Structure 1
Amino acid sequence: MVKPHDEKEVTDECVVHDHPVPPEELARYSIDRDPYSEADIASYVEGQARDEEVQHVERIKTEVVLGDTYEMWDVTTDSNRWWVITNLTNLYSQKHFPSLDYTLSFHIGLMMRLRSRSDNVDAGEPSPFDEVIRREEQASDRHDSAVEAEDYQTVGMLLREALISLIGALRRRTEIPEGIEQPQDANFIDWSIVLMNQLCPGSSNKTLRQHLKSVAKESWQLVNWLTHSRSANQTASSIAIHSCQTVIGHFIQILERSRFDKNEECPVCKSRNIRTHFDLSIGDDGEYFSSCGVCDWTDHPDAAGE
C-alpha cells in the first residue's frame, strides 16, 4: 500500500480584505479629481437628502447620447449610496437602482418626459434666479386652478412680481457705469433698456438688443393689462405666462453669454473646456465662478491667493 505523501504545512499568509475602505479615505486613491464639480454634486445631494452628509464623490464616466452629455457620479453619504446623473441633475438610490447602465437609461427617459411637459427655466440646481423662478411657478400654479376673472388677474400680479425680481437679479450681476441714470426699482421697462445696453452692447448686437427690449416691454404691458382687466381669462393668462417665460429665459441667456464670452479660453492652458459652478458662499446671495476642465485654473475668489 502506497502511503500518501505528507502534506506540507502552509506557512504563507494570505490576508483577505474583509472591510471596505472608509468613504473619507477613497478620495486619496482617485486618479482623476475635479474638486469644483465634486463640490457641486455634493451640495446637490445634501440639498436633496437633507439628513445625510456626503463623505465621498467620484465621477464614474461620461456618456453622450443623441447629442446630450450625461455625467454619472457615485456618491457615498453617512447612511446611503447614490447615483447622480446630470442633464438634468437627479439622484437615484443604489439600493433601488443597482445597475448604472439601467439607471442611465431610466434617467434619459425621465428627462425627456420632463422636458416635453415643461418649457420652464430649469430650477433643479441652486441659482441666483431662484426667486424669479419661484414666482413664475406660483403664477403657473394659480393659472391651473383659476376660474374667475379675479383669479387670472392674480396670475398677472404674480408675473409682474417675477419680472421685477428678474430685474433685481440682473442688476446685482451687471456693472452699471457711473453717469448712467438708474430708474426706480419697479420701473421694469427702463431697467430693461439700461441692462440690455450693458449686456448686449455694440452695433453688431443692435438687432438682438432691440428685440430683447421690445419683447420685455410688450410682456410687461401685457401682464399689467392682465392684472387690471375685468375680462381676464384663461387664454390671456396662458399667453402672458409664456411671454414672461420667454423674457426670463432671454435675460438669463444674455447674462450668461456675457460671462462665457469673457472666459471662453483658459488663461493658463488655453483650453476651451471651461465649466461653470455656483457657490452660495460667495457674496450675499451666491455667485457663479468658472474652472478649467484640463488644468487647475479657477476664478473662484478663495483661489485668488493660491
Structure 2
Amino acid sequence: MPEELDDCVHTHPIPADEAQRYSPVRDPDSEQDIARYVELEADDEKVLSAEKIRTDHVQGDQYDIWDVVTDKGRWWVITNITNLYSQTHFPSLDYTLSFHIGLMARLMSRNTRLEDFDPDPFNEVSRRWDQAVSRSELAVEVEDFQAIGMLLRECLLSLIEALRRMLPEAIPEDEPKAADFRAWTNIFFDHLCPGRSEKELRSYLKNTAEKTWSLVGWLTHARTANRLYSRIITQAVDTLLGHIMQLVYREKSSKIEVCPNCSSHDIRNHYDMSVPPDGAGYSTCGSCNWSDHPDAENRAALKRLG
C-alpha cells in the first residue's frame, strides 16, 4: 500500500541551483570563485551549486571544504592548495580531507617555491634556481659547488630584473648599476615595506638580502665549498625569493586588511574576469559582506532581489 503524503512533504528533490538560494550562511563571491575553478578543471561541466560545508584547521593550516554539484556529477573541493575530488571515487569526506592534506604535503615537499603566483614575471628566476638545485644533486668537486654559487648569483640578478619590470614606479632617476644587488633590494624593500609600521620588517629583509648575497659570493670562490654549504645557501636564496614574491603579491593585490565598514580583519580576495577590460581583483568582508567590487551596488541589489 503506497505511503500517504501530507502537504509538508516534497515529492521531488529541490534543484541544486534553487536549494543554494535558501542556505542561511552564504558567501556568493567565494562560491563564484569555487564555481569558476570547477568549471575550468572539470571539462564540459556547468556548476549548479557550490556550498561550503565546513572549515577544518590542521597543524595551523586552514582547509575550506566545498560540496559542488554540476550538471554531470558532484565534487568535493578543498582549499590550500585548492583541488577537487569526484564524490563517486571519494565518497567519504573525512578520508578525502586526509588524502588531500597528505597530497599537498608531498607536493610542497617537492617544491618549496610559492606556487600561487603568476609564474610569468618570475619564470627566469625560477629556471635559474632550478638549475642550481639540479646542479647541487650532481655536484662532487669543489668546482661544482662553486658553479652552484654562480648560478645562484645569476638567479638573484634575474630577480632584480623581474622586479624592475614589475615595479617601475619604484625605480629612482639615479639608478644603481644593474649588478648592484644590495642597492636594488634596498630600493625595492623601501617601496614594498613603507612607513614606520614596517620598519622592523624592512630592516630584517634588507639584512637578509645583504647576508644572502654575501653568502652566494663566498660560495662562488670558497676553496672549501661542499654539499652542505651549497644546500644551506641554496635554501637561503629560496627563502629570500619567497619573501619578495609574497611582498610583490601584496603590492599587486588589494591592500585592504581591515573592513572599512565593520573593522573586521576577515578580508577575502577574489578575481572577476568579467570586469573590463581584462578582469580585476576585489575584496569582500566575511563578517558584514562589504565589497569593493566595481559593480558592488548593482550586485548587492541583485542579491536582495534574488
Report how many residues are paired.
293
Give the equivalent residue in structure 1 for 2:151.
Answer: 157
Residue of structure 2 in register with 1:73 after alignment? 66
2:130 is equivalent to residue 138 of structure 1: yes
Shift of 1:112: 4.9
> Deviations along 1:176-196, whole A, 9 cap, x unmatched?
38x654446665432211111
Counterparts of 1:122 and 1:257, CA distance in 2: 13
Change beyond 3 A, Cα 1:242–1:43: farther
User: Would the aligned equivalents of 1:41 and 1:57 in 2 still touch at CA under 8 Å?
Assistant: yes
Give yes or no for the alignment of 1:293 onto 2:290: no
What is the CA–CA distance in structure 2 between the aligned matches of 1:193 and 1:111, rounded to whole Å?
Answer: 35
1:53-107 deviation line (CA, Å, top 9, x unaligned): 4413221122334543321011234544221112333322211111212222333
Q: Which has the larger radius of gyration?
A: 1
In 2: Cα distance, 1:248 partner to 1:271 partner: 31
Structure 1 distance, partners of 2:159, 2:62, is: 32
Q: Give the drift of 1:293.
A: 0.6
Is 1:176 aligned to 2:165, yes or no? no
* Identity across the alignment (%): 42
Specify the SS of the correspondent of 1:51.
coil
Structure 1 SS opposite 2:170 = coil
TM-score, with length taken from structure 2: 0.70
Q: Give the counterpart of 1:98 among 78, 91, 96.
A: 91
Question: Whole-Å Cα distance in 1 between the matches of residues 163 and 213 of structure 2?
Answer: 17
Does structure 1 residue 63 correspond to structure 2 residue 56?
yes
1:54–1:75 contact (8 Å) kept in structure 2: no
- Residues in 2 aligned to 1:280 and 1:216: alpha-carbon distance in whole angstroms: 36
Is the Cα–Cα contact under 8 Å of residues 68 and 75 in structure 2 kept in the other structure?
yes
AA matched with 1:120: T
Distance 1:280 1:253, change over 3 A: same
Residue number in structure 1 paired with 2:185: 192
Greater shift after overlay, 103-112 or 67-76? 103-112
Deviations 1:1-38 (Å, cap 9, x if unpaired)? xxxxxx9xx99999732x772x5555444443323222
Partner Cα distance (1:294, 1:28) in 2: 19
Q: Secondary structure in 2 aligned to 1:59?
A: strand
Q: Name the counterpart of 1:244.
A: 237
**1:143 CA displacement:** 3.8
Q: Look up the equivalent residue of 2:286 and give its one-letter code.
A: G
Equivalent position to 2:112, from 108, 113, 120:
120
TM-score, normalising length: structure 1: 0.70
Change (3 A) 1:126 1:235: same
Is the Cα–Cα contact under 8 Å of residues 122 and 162 in structure 2 kept in the other structure?
no
Q: Deviations over 1:227-270 (max 9, x none)?
A: 78898754343233201111122224445677999533211222
- For residues 84 and 155 of structure 1, the distance between their equivalents in structure 2, rounded to whole angstroms, comes to 42
1:206-246 Cα offsets, whole Å, 9 max, x none, are: 44323312321333454466678898754343233201111
Counterpart-to-counterpart distance in 1, 2:279 and 2:148: 30
Question: By how many angstroms is 1:122 displaced?
Answer: 3.6
Q: Which residue of 1 aligns with 2:43?
A: 51
RMSD across aligned positions (CA): 4.6
The answer as to whether partners of 1:152 and 1:234 remain within 8 angstroms in 2 is: no
Shift of 1:153: 3.1
Write the distance in 1 (CA, Å) between the matches of 2:160 and 2:243: 11
Secondary structure class of the residue paired with 1:103: helix
Q: Which amino acid aligns with 1:16?
A: T
From the superposition, tell whether residues 95 and 89 of structure 1 become closer, same or farther in structure 2 (CA, over 3 Å).
same
**Aligned letter for 1:40?**
D
Alpha-carbon distance in 1 for matches of 2:275, 2:157: 24
Cα gap change, 1:11 to 1:103, in 2 (>3 Å): closer
Instruction: Tell me the residue number matched to 1:3.
Output: none
SS in 1 for 2:30: helix
C-alpha distance 125-42 of structure 1, shift in aligned 2 (>3 A): farther
Following the alignment from structure 1 to structure 2, what is the Cα–Cα distance between the partners of residues 300 and 127? 25
